[in-house]
């Protein structure tokens, strides 16, 4: 399946085979592909909480509107991000780059985000969203289906996964083997509502 077919065929699937176990090599490959997602300054500030334990997923389902995909999918990913990633030694992100690149980006990283809570949070959500989309497309390309989820109690989920105070919770993604196709795709809004040429009208 090429990338265009993957984009066209990816759907948010709600019904999964609860007996399917994702092989370890598939999980490792899925994570490997997800980590190719772009991120500002190459911070890779997204974090993937991989949940497979059946009993733990029952607890998560209780605070996720009792949605069956939480327990029935092969793997549940909880997408989070580290709000302090910009405080790390930039060599960790740019040690592979030519020295002249390190000399530009290294000193710029911390001041770019420092003291800017909204920007830092926005970046965290952007990063985890990009990683999440990469994960879902990679899953489809590997023969799996997925469903992004925001229908849950964020405080309860944060508590259950012991989310650190300096992290932000973004969304969940269920990944597994479909047992029932998704509903027919809804009509896409017309370009006239979605696409703005150059700038919004004054």
Across 132-146, average pLDDT: 97
Class of domain 3-194: alpha beta
User: pLDDT band at 6, cuts 50/70/90?
Assistant: very high
Mean pLDDT, rounded, for 95-120: 91
d(Cα 85, Cα 191) in Å, to the nearest integer?
37
Q: How confident is the model at residue 89 (pLDDT cuts 50, 70, 90)?
A: confident
d(CA 53, CA 48): 15
Is 1's pLDDT higher than 80? no
CA 192 to chain centre: 29
User: Which tens digits make up the pLDDT trace of 182-198?
Assistant: 988 999 999 999 999 99
Kindly report the pTM of this predicted structure: 0.95
Determine the length of the chain: 202
The yes-or-no verdict on residue 169 having pLDDT over 90 is yes
């Amino acid at each position: 399946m090429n990338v265009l077919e993957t984009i066209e065929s990816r759907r948010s699937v709600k019904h999964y085979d609860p007996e399917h176990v994702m092989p370890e090599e598939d999980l490792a490959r899925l994570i490997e592909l997800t980590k190719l997602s772009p991120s500002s300054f190459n911070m890779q500030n997204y974090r993937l909480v991989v949940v497979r334990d059946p009993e733990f997923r029952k607890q998560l389902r209780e605070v996720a509107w009792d949605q069956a995909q939480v327990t029935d999918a092969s793997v549940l990913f909880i997408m989070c991000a580290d709000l302090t990633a910009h405080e790390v030694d930039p060599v960790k992100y740019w040690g592979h780059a030519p020295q002249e690149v390190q000399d530009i980006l290294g000193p710029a990283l911390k001041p770019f985000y420092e003291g800017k809570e909204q920007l830092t949070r926005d970046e965290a959500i952007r990063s985890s969203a990009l990683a999440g989309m990469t994960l879902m497309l990679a899953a489809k390309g590997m023969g799996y289906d997925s469903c992004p989820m925001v229908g849950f109690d964020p405080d309860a989920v944060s508590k259950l996964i012991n989310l650190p105070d300096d992290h932000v919770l973004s969304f969940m993604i269920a990944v597994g083997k479909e047992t029932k196709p998704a509903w027919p795709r809804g009509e896409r809004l017309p370009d006239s509502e979605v696409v703005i040429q150059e700038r919004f009208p004054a």
